[in-house]
């Protein structure tokens, strides 16, 4: 993708920055000046329905994005970059307030002190166990509430070398600022290709199948009727199951299901990077999508992990023996962005020109079964996952869940709607999402990224999984409750082993076919 007519992000230290007296480990006390016109007239913008939900006790959660860099992080450059990009977005210069007259929550524009949003601790570069330190640091952020008197975001910079990166940057923000897809898109809009500082990263898009003109009108009409019928039927079934989940339908109490109040427990943030190229080998061999492979990996990895946990309870730790109880009901809440993303080009132009773009929280949930078993053919995991996903594609469940939450909120208020949403999520076992990332290496304000691991905390799950692709890698980022899952790296091993198992199986099938 060539130049998009955007100005390259300035990543050169200027004389003005040196006069600020900033050094690594010190906070910048410089206040970003708000234009006089904005000072005179305080802007109040109504909060969206989803924003009001995320400010209730039942559904208060945060997004944490961990970015590994291939070089040490220059604090001055990051601060300058934030001033020229994120601070031009109204959500990053606003605080949530309640209108005293109407009792309605709104966003209020305020003056931003960049230094108050950055934490740059002085660290010993030769410390023992730097990987463990970074993991402990990022995990500790899940227990620290955000200061509601300033815009709800902060950046942490850890200039210590780990096994994966030379330094680590952490962006933490309140979920009321925006949905996960919008936040990831906004972060990507702040990046540029490592090979071209003027070009935004290339994000793969799904290719739509073109309808053949050779097909007759009658055939196309019958196909359309069949699709509409399937959408109606699948949506009806999913809506019934969704309502049943609100009332009584719960997942089986497995060793990975969190109990009451799990959303308030400290979380462990871990991740594992696997080969996206290996996933593409499986995808192409079986004529699937990456989403199908992702769900297959999740299903296989969790099955293997649960089998071991049940085996340990019975005194049989072998993963080769089937220790799984029969008829386990385990579902994943998959998050969908109802409103199409504005796109990173639009967001980049918005921050450069201070224009407007679609923004906010407009998300729905799809309750997706994850069959737990140990089939003889490992590819059965993927075939099962594909059948379920294909059925979910012909359903409006995500829009139904969004509409149900909004209707409840309009009638009974945000607190009731939040408790209802919390109840639905707590009756499932895990939360899943898959976000497509750049195809090439990118820089974040002049710092080349080694990996990106976004996650979320504050929801009623002991296991939250996010799949994030970047170049030829796929990072599985997890937020786990250590009281429920004390060995998260074993679960990471099971996911990685599952992909290798799939790859070996398709290679074996291919060799057998020849």
Q: Is 14 helix (H, G, I), strand (E, B) or coil?
A: coil
What is the distance between the alpha carbons of residues 272 and 467, in angstroms, rounded to a whole number?
A: 10
What is the distance between the alpha carbons of residues 201 and 230, in angstroms, rounded to a whole number?
A: 37
Phi, psi of 45 (to 5 degrees): -120, 130
Half-sphere exposure of 92 (CA within 13 A, CB side): 24
Beta strands in 283-327 (DSSP E): none
Q: Is 175 a catalytic residue?
A: yes
What is the distance between the alpha carbons of residues 342 and 358, in angstroms, rounded to a whole number?
A: 6
Handedness of CA 245, 250, 256, 259 (dihedral sign): positive
Q: What is the DSSP annotation of 131-164?
A: HHHHHHHHHHGGGSPP-TTS-SEEEEEE----SS
User: Active-site residue among 55, 117, 156, 175?
Assistant: 175
Order of strands, sheet of 442-444, starting from the edge strand that comes earlier in the sequence: 118-119, 153-158, 167-174, 62-69, 447-457, 442-444, 191-193
Q: What distances in angstroms separate CA 407 from CA 50, 54, 263, 360, 422, one per listed residue?
A: 12, 16, 25, 18, 16
Rounded to 10°, the helix 488-513/276-286 angle is 40
Cβ atoms within 10 Å of 9's Cβ, excluding its own: 22
Let me know: does 416 contact 168? Beta carbons within 8 Å. no
Q: Is 172 helix (H, G, I), strand (E, B) or coil?
A: strand
Q: Which of 197, 201, 177 is nearest to 189 (CA)?
A: 201
Let me know: does 76 contact 22? Beta carbons within 8 Å. yes
- Residues designated catalytic: 175
């Amino acid at each position: 993708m060539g130049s998009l007519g955007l100005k390259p992000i300035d990543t050169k230290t200027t004389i003005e920055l040196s006069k600020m007296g900033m050094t690594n480990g010190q906070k910048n006390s410089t206040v970003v000046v708000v234009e006089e016109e904005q000072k005179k007239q305080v802007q109040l913008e109504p909060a969206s329905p989803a924003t009001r939900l995320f400010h209730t006790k039942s559904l208060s959660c945060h997004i944490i994005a961990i970015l590994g860099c291939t070089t040490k992080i220059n604090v001055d450059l990051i601060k300058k970059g934030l001033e020229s990009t994120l601070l031009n977005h109204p959500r990053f210069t606003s605080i949530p307030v309640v209108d005293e007259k109407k009792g309605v929550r709104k966003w209020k524009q305020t003056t931003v002190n960049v230094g108050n949003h950055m934490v740059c601790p002085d660290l010993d570069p030769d410390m023992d166990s730097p990987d463990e330190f970074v993991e402990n640091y990022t995990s500790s952020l899940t227990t620290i509430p955000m200061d509601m008197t300033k815009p709800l975001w902060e950046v942490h910079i850890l200039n210590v070398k780990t096994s994966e990166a030379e330094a680590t940057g952490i962006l933490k923000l309140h979920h009321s600022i925006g949905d996960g897809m919008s936040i990831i898109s906004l972060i990507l809009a702040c990046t540029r290709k490592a090979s071209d500082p003027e070009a935004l990263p290339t994000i793969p898009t799904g290719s739509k199948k073109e309808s053949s003109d050779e097909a007759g009108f009658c055939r196309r009409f019958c196909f359309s009727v069949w699709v509409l019928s399937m959408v109606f039927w699948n949506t009806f079934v999913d809506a019934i199951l969704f309502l049943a989940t609100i009332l009584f339908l719960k997942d089986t109490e497995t060793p990975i299901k969190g109990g009451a109040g799990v959303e308030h427990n400290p979380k462990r943030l871990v991740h594992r990077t696997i080969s996206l190229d290996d996933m593409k080998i499986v995808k192409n061999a079986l004529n699937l999508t990456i989403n199908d492979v992702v769900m297959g990996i999740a299903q296989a990895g969790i099955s293997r992990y649960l089998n071991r946990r049940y085996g340990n309870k019975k005194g049989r730790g072998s993963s080769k023996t089937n220790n799984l109880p029969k008829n386990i009901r385990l579902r994943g809440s998959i998050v969908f962005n109802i409103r199409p993303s504005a796109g990173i080009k639009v967001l980049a132009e918005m921050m450069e020109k201070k224009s407007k773009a679609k923004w906010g929280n407009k998300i729905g949930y799809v309750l997706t079964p994850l069959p737990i078993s140990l089939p003889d053919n490992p590819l059965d995991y993927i075939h099962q996952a594909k059948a379920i996903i294909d059925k979910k594609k012909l359903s409006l469940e995500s829009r139904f869940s969004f509409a149900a939450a909004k209707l409840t909120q309009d009638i009974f208020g945000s607190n009731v709607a939040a408790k209802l949403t919390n109840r639905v999520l707590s009756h499932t076992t895990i939360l899943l999402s898959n976000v497509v990332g750049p195809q090439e290496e990118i820089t974040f304000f002049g710092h080349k990224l080694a990996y990106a691991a976004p996650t979320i905390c504050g929801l009623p799950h002991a296991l939250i999984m996010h799949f994030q692709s970047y170049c030829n890698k796929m990072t599985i980022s997890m937020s786990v409750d250590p009281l429920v899952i004390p060995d998260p790296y074993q679960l990471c091993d099971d996911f990685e082993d599952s992909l290798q198992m799939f790859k070996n199986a398709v290679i074996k099938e291919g060799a057998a076919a020849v």
